[in-house]
Structures are given as C-alpha cells and as structure tokens.
Structure 1
Amino acid sequence: MTEASSTMQSAAGTRLNRRGRETRQRLLDIAIECLAQGSGEPLSANRIAKEAGVSWGTLKHQFGDIDGLWAAVLIELTDRSGANNPEIWPQVSGSIRDRVWEMVDAMWTILGSPEGQAVETLRAGLPNGQTERLEVFPLTAAAMTEYEDAWLRAFEYFLADLPLDADKVHRVQALIPMAMRGINNERRLSSTADLAAARHCLVDSIAVYLH
C-alpha cells in the first residue's frame, strides 16, 4: 500500500479504518488488473465493484465516482513507478548515449508491465479532446498530467549534470514518451518489425542531437 494509512480518506473526507483501507486497495488492484488486460471494452465502475465483491455504494464512498477512481488509480501507479520519488532514483553516469539508453530502456520496461499497460488502456479510454477530457474527467486529467510530469522530471534528472542545451533537452523529454509509445504499439500488435533496432536507432539519433 503506497498511501500513508494514517491520512487515507474516503471521497467524503472521512478517515478510513483498517478495513476501509484494505477495501480501497483491493478496488485499486482490481481496477489496475482489469485495465492491464485491455479487452477493448469500456471498463465500468460496476464491473470493478462486482469483481471486488463490494457494492457500487462502497466504491462511491471510497472514490466518489468513476473520475475519482481513475484518478486514484493513476496516483497509485505513479507511486508504484517510483518516478515521483527522487530518493530511490539510481546514480547516473556515463556518456550521453548511455543515459539516453537508460531512459528509453526504463520506459520500455514500464510500458511492457501490467502497470504500464493499465495506464495506456486508461489513456485510450479517455476523450481525445482536451476540453472534453477536462470537463468530464477533471480529476483523472490532473492525475494523468502528474503521472507524465513525474516521468519528465525523471528524464531531466538523467541529464541534469551535463552541459547540454536546455531547449534540446526539453524537446527530447517531449519526444521520448511519444516515440516509445509508437514502438510499444508495434510490440502490442505482435509486429514483425525489429523493435530492438528501432530503440537503438532512437537512442543513437537523440545522442547525436544532444551533442
């Protein structure tokens, strides 16, 4: 459990007891598992409540609505990834290419994990338009932004001690997640493309650009 148990609250603002905390975690775990399966069908809060063996009222008490549930899922996944916790980040050294490879490899690993698959399924299920997304899922949109910002900060950390052009670093930060999602889509489609070669080419290109 990643949240501090002493401060964990329900959507109504009430402090959760041990049983309430366990129920909340079970709902989060099941929601993440269902998202990771990515069946392509819309995932409802009722299905998650049913699989957790609780009522819709219990889920509503914990998270308020589906927006609150998805936001809590993203907060949980951000915590699990470690991208928001600099204290556990590894020491970095080596060439620019070595460091870029570490970034790319870390994201490749995350995207291939159940947690990463859950995020991508959730992202695909949200409205495409930013205005509609903010209107219908304001909490989820904010949590998704924090999830992505945590990764951007981690990427910046890998290059922070090198005398590099700040604008180029910013552009690389924007490029890597987009490029890696594209390569990962080929993996999810069981493409015959040489995915390792694509990742190495991406890394080589970025290293040359940063030089």
Structure 2
Amino acid sequence: MTDTDVQPQRTNRRGDASRENMLEAALKALATGDPGAVSANRIAKQIGATWGVVKYQFGDADGLWAAVLHRTAEHRADLFVPSDTAVPLRQRVAAIIDTLYDGLTATDSRAIENLRAALPRDPAELERLYPRTSAELQSWGRGWLETCQNAFADLNVDTERVRAVATFIPGAMRGITSERQLGSYYDLDLARRGLTDAIVAYLESSASSGPGDRSASGT
C-alpha cells in the first residue's frame, strides 16, 4: 500500500476530528450563557480554525447550529424507555421529572437555551434565516413527543394526554430549574413531587377500566 492509498483515510479522520472539536467547542462556548458566544466565527477562533473550516464542515452558521442541536439530540437517545414493563406509571413519570431537573442545568441544555435566546422568536423568520436550524428544532419537538410516547407505550393511558404532558413538561421544568438557579425559598423537592402527582393523576384518569388500570397506576 502506498502513501497515496492511505491519504484519503487520514484526511477523513482529520476532518472528522475537526468537526468533533468544533461541535464540542460550540457546546462549551454556548453553555457559558454569554450571548456573544452565539458566533460561528468566535467558536472557530477558540479552536484555532478559520471561517473557511466552518464552511467546509457545516456550510454556514445555520449548518453549525443545526449540527449542535443534532448532537444534543443524539445524547438524549433512548431516554426514559423502561427496560422492565413492570415499572409503574408513577416511577416512570418521576424518572422523567428527575432527569429533566438534573439535565436542564447540564452543558447541553445551557448551550441550547443560549442558542435559542439568540435566534429569531418568530417561527417563519427563523425558518427563513436559519432553515436547517429550524428543521432541527422541529425535529426536536417530534423526538421529545416520541420519547414520551415510548415511555408510556405499554401502559393503558390516552395518547392525547401523553401528547399534552409532553407539551407542558419542558416549560414546567424550566420554571422549577429557574427557581433552583435563583435560590428559591420554595421546597423544590415538594414541587417535583407535586408535579409528578398531577401528571400521574391526569394520565391515570384517562385509563379505561380493566387490567391495564392496575398496571398503569402501579397499585
């Protein structure tokens, strides 16, 4: 085998490493909460790259932000899918609440909050200026709904109520997380239990009578 034969593989490896480094740098920079971190040029400079490298790897800033969003979605793959079908409804809901309570202060979540704050609020404007990022955010929404559906798929609960729960949980947990970060005078453990109880009661009340009720409630 000649040097010419192996060169493409080395180039690909370098390209992959550069892409990975830039995505990790983007996540760390965005996670600082600094609005100025939402800059592809600034992120490139942090790892000693040029704008040309960004364009080569991602096309443009829109491609970089879309790739960052996709990376965080990969980190969340298969969350909340019970390995044991005997896990009761309450335990599954509590697992979602607890995971979000911890996860919303993690690097990925802080990065995405900062990125979203810098993007246009109007969906049409976002789609016009950042079509790939907009598409990835929409994919996030679909993925989160699918995650929640998978978490309760084997239980006798109404799918529309699962959709409603999937819609309001992120906002509710951001509120509780905000209280945590600000130094709340409220008992946030009690808040989480109260939210868990409310969701369980809402989902249990949708279950039709029959053997599925006992499985869903865990009683």
Q: State the TM-score bracket (shorter-chain normalisation).
A: 0.7 to 0.9
Counterpart of 2:20 in structure 1 is 25
**What's the CA shift for 1:82?**
1.9
Q: 2:82·2:151 contact (CA, 8 Å) conserved in 1?
A: no
Alignment size in residue pairs: 193
Give 1:89 shift.
4.0
**1:91 and 2:83 correspond:** yes
Aligned partners of 2:142, 2:181: CA distance in 1, in Å? Answer: 24
Listed one character per residue, the Cα deviations across residues 113-165 of structure 1 (whole Å, up to 9, x for unaligned) are 11111122112221111111111111111111222322221111121111112
1:169-189 deviations in whole A, cap 9, x for unaligned? 211111111211221222233
| TM-score, length of structure 2 as denominator length | 0.81
User: Aligned pair 1:148/2:176, yes or no?
Assistant: no
Measured in 1, the distance between the counterparts of 2:141 and 2:110 equals 14
1:54 paired with 2:46, answer no
From 44, 61, 77, the equivalent of 1:82 is 77
User: Relative to structure 2, which stretch is displaced further, 124-133 or 183-192?
Assistant: 183-192
In the TM superposition, what are the counterparts of 1:113-132 in structure 2 within 5 Å? 113-132=106-125
> What amino acid is the match of 1:29?
E
Write the distance in 2 (CA, Å) between the matches of 1:60 and 1:188: 36
The alpha-carbon deviation at position 42 of structure 1 amounts to: 5.2
**CA–CA distance in structure 2, aligned partners of residues 58 and 125 of structure 1:** 23
List alignment gaps of at least 5 residues for structure 2: 1-10, 205-219
Amino acid at match of 1:200: R
Contact 2:69 2:137 in 1 (8 A): yes
Greater radius of gyration (CA): 2
Kindly state the Cα deviation for residue 90 of structure 1 after the two structures are TM-superposed.
4.0
CA distance in 1, matches of 2:145, 2:178: 21
Distance of aligned partners of 1:82 and 1:166 in 2 relative to their CA distance in 1, 3 Å threshold:
closer
CA RMSD, 1 decimal: 1.8
> Structure 1 length as normaliser, TM-score?
0.84
Moved more, 199-208 or 100-109: 100-109
Percent of aligned pairs sharing the same letter: 40
Q: Which runs of 5+ in 1 are unaligned?
A: 1-15
Please give the alpha-carbon distance, in whole angstroms, between the structure 1 residues aligned to 2:15 and 2:195.
46
1 CA distance for matches of 2:47 and 2:20? 10
